[in-house]
Structure formats: structure tokens, C-alpha cells
Amino acid sequence: MLTDSGVSVVLYVDVAAQPNTRNPDLGIDVGEVQFLIPSPEPGQLRALSDAISHISRGGGFHWIYLPDVTGQVAAIQEEAFAAATALEREYEKERRSQEKVAQEILSLRTMSGRMPLTEVILNAPQPQPANPSPTDETPWATWRKPNTTFMFYGLHDGTGWMIITHQDQRLIAVPWPFFEGWDRALPERCGKADLELGGVSMDNFTATALYLRDKQKVMRFSTIWQDILNAA
């Protein structure tokens, strides 16, 4: 079948507990979508009306694979790459600064002649970063991984979402500023609400970013919390 945009799509209709996985033999230009119907309980479907009701209540479409015909996925990936590059540059700048200080300490103590070089190497104090990381002042300090990038999406309806890296490497989308009904605001394909963390544990970063990108008024990424506050 063809979509309105002319994309070839394979449609599956299945009664199963979990969505299908992508068929790599179809190639990157063919989409896959599944109408998934949950398995009925034994004896649940005694009449045609029961089956129709079960399908209408529990059935739903799930994109298994959506071709990037408009380049939006590539744009999202480029934004993520830019954020990672910026963070890597900051890290490399700090690392080089520490190495330079360490070398200066070693050179000066060696020149002083007050201790052998081997003792200088063993006893030289560890240099401190030129710009020590400030205390995490965000609302998520107890679980956020330090020195990771914030990605903020401010939407046209006045709500906003912050994508944060958890200490266990998960990506969490949290409502910022907080708003009622956040746990039902994102589509199921984005992830599942974690009420303890106060955010959505993302199953699919690309799907979430695409959804937010379509509705965004402003997008900002930074490792500095104050920059995000100014954007929000």
C-alpha cells in the first residue's frame, strides 16, 4: 500500500502480545505498520459483537519502521550529534587544561632539585579542573547523570519537555515547567511514564524528538542549567 506522501508501506494485522520487529529484507525505503490486537481471554469472544468490541477497544496501529522521506529523522540525529560534539569539546578543553598544569608542576619541581623526578611523579598533587563542575541545582539532582547535556523543547501550547540522562544511561523526558496530565501527554511510542522520577522513560529517542519537533516553539541544548532556564 502507498501513503498520501507516496511511501510504500507493508501493513500487518496480528493478534499478539508484542509488536513485530522490523524486517530488514524490505530495505530502508519501505515502511512497516502493524495493527496489533491483544490476545483475548479464554471464552471472551462468544459472538461476533464480542470480537468487534474487543478489536475496537484494544486494537491499535504501531509504526514498526517509518522511512525518513522528509529528512526529519536525519535532522534530529544531527541535533543530537551537535550536542554530543559540544560536550566532547568542553571535556577535551578541561582535560588539556589539567594536563598542562600537571606538566608545569612536574617541570618546576624537577628544576628546583629538591626531590628526584620519580618522587615528583609520585607525590605531585593532582591538578584541579580550571572550572570545577558546580553543584547540580536542578530538580533532578538525585538521579541525573552529572555533566550531561540538557535538551529543552518549548512547545507552542506553553508546555515544555526536558530530555535528561539518568545515571543508569536511560533518557528521561520530564515536563518543564511541570504541568498536570504530563504522564498522558506523550504518545505511547515515546515511552512509559515513571511516576517516581516524574518523567517519561524514553523507549525511542527519535520518535520522541520527532513528535516534539513538530510542536516546538523553541529548542535549546546545553550542559549549563542557567542557559536552559533562560530559554524556558
pLDDT confidence of residue 120: 39
pLDDT confidence of residue 186: 92
pLDDT confidence of residue 106: 55
pLDDT (tens, 9 = 90+) of the chain, 232 residues, equals 655 666 688 888 888 767 677 777 887 778 888 888 888 888 887 888 888 887 888 888 777 777 765 566 667 667 777 776 776 776 677 666 666 655 555 555 555 555 444 443 334 444 444 444 456 788 999 999 887 888 899 999 999 999 988 998 888 999 998 999 999 999 988 899 999 999 999 888 878 888 888 888 988 878 788 878 876 6
How much is the pTM?
A: 0.49
The C-alpha atoms of residue 225 and residue 147 are separated, in whole angstroms, by 10
pLDDT confidence of residue 104: 55
